[in-house]
Amino acid sequence: MELRTIKDAFDRVTKKQKVASSKSQEVIEQIGHEIEQALLKIQSINDTASLSEHKVILSELKAKLKEVAPLSQLEGTQKELNVALSKYPKLLEKSLNPDISKAYRNVGSDIHTVNQIIASHFYREGHFDLGDCFVNEARESEAADQKSPFLQMYQILEAMRSRNLDPAVSWATTNSEKLKLSGSDIEMKLHRQQFVEILQNKGRDEALGYARTNFPPFATKYLAEIQRLMACLLWAGKLDSSPYSDLLSPCHWDKLAEELARQFCNLMGQSYESPLSATIAAGVQGLPTLLKLMNVMTGKKQEWQSMKQLPVPIDLDREFQFHSIFVCPVSRDQATEENPPMLMSCGHVLCKQSITKLSKNNNTRPFKCPYCPTEVEVGQCKQLFF
């Protein structure tokens, strides 16, 4: 959704508001100064002073306040502020459609699955009390099974924030084989960070003992890195001024925590990003297009509800593109299970329905490829799987 226009209008309002506030403060200070001066004059004269002298001082004050003309000074800035304030709500109403329900399609959904996703989101984000409350109220006791692994993950991450790698190393050791199968090197990274911490805080002998105990299984694959760590032993107590000072960078902890969370979710069969967050973010991007489409299709609500495929593409950022799609260059339809992409003998790809139309539903009758001179038969076409 394009919010630049709204932001510019908001910036104009805040600027006018600051100017009006500053001008108001300036006028108030002027009035206060004149009143203080008048009070000082009244206090400085004798108690026996006549009433006429007081009247003179008050008359002078009245004249000076009239000269200050507070209303005239404030009128211009307040008028500009009011104009900007009156335009801003109209722009919001025009730009932000208050009724997004018309873009809703009555697509069947499994409430049980939706509840599982919501509960998983709360546990994934570390909101365990909120997740428990939702599970109880939604009566989704099965969803509570996801709490334990995420709780363990957060306990490990909390320990890492305190520079305690023992829980993380223990988890990685327990899941060593699974991590290797997934191609992860986080176990070695955890041992490396633990080695550096021991070298910094406990000295050379402790670090060497840790290396002898934990590095041998990684020697074949990570020999160069282990050799570099062994060289750090020569700089014990002064590693920050050594050629290996990069190992002390705080960013290693942040990257290690993020990677551990990714691998933890991976072993659970879960994505690192919350599916609920990704769905809502993608929906926010696609909503303006859907609202415009509904405005065009006003009066065709039934057709909108029964439509299997949207008539216009919804452009989403790369972060929301999780699998490959194919759009037939002839029919412009997106491939589906009923209408899969087919590879022709010439190497070009069309959807099955387009090939059926080109061959006039005759499996033995050759037809010309629409993109090259090759004659193709339906029997020679093969279904593609992305």
User: In the β-sheet with 349-351, what is the strand arrangement from edge to edge?
Assistant: 349-351, 341-343, 382-383
Structural domain contains residue 112: no
How high is the pLDDT of residue 212? Answer: 94
How high is the pLDDT of residue 49? Answer: 58
Please check whether residues 17 and 76 belong to one and the same domain.
yes
How high is the mean pLDDT of the chain? Answer: 86
Number of folded domains that form the chain: 3
pLDDT category, 105, cuts 50, 70, 90? low
- For residue 356, the domain's CATH number is 3.30.40.10
Structural domain of residue 9, as residue ranges? Answer: 3-94
Tens digits of per-residue pLDDT, 265-296? 999 988 888 989 988 888 888 888 887 777 77
Find the range with the poorest average confidence among 231-240, 304-313, 376-385: 304-313
Q: Is there a contact between 197 and 206 (Cβ–Cβ < 8 Å)?
A: no
pLDDT category, 24, cuts 50, 70, 90? confident
CA separation for the pair 232, 191 (Å, rounded): 14
Instruction: Tell me, letter by letter, the H, E, C secondary structure of 271-314.
Output: CCCCHHHHHHHHHHHHHHHHHHHHHHCCCCHHHHHHCCCCCCCC
Tens digits of per-residue pLDDT, 151-167? 999 999 999 999 999 99
Residue predicted with more confidence, 298 or 52: 52
pTM summary value: 0.61
3-state secondary structure (DSSP) of residue 163: coil
**Quick check: 200 pLDDT over 70?**
yes
How high is the pLDDT of residue 206? Answer: 94
Please check whether residues 144 and 239 belong to one and the same domain.
yes
Structural domain contains residue 134: no
Structural domain contains residue 245: yes
Residue with the two structure tokens 């320990």: 159
**Quick check: 311 pLDDT over 80?**
no
Please check whether residues 80 and 168 belong to one and the same domain.
no
How high is the pLDDT of residue 300? Answer: 65
Please check whether residues 261 and 153 belong to one and the same domain.
yes
| Tokens encoding 37 | 């001066």
| Tokens encoding 28 | 């108030």
- Integer CA distances (angstroms), 196 to 237, 246, 298, 351, in order: 11, 11, 66, 57
Please check whether residues 150 and 90 belong to one and the same domain.
no
Structural domain contains residue 219: yes
How high is the pLDDT of residue 1? Answer: 46
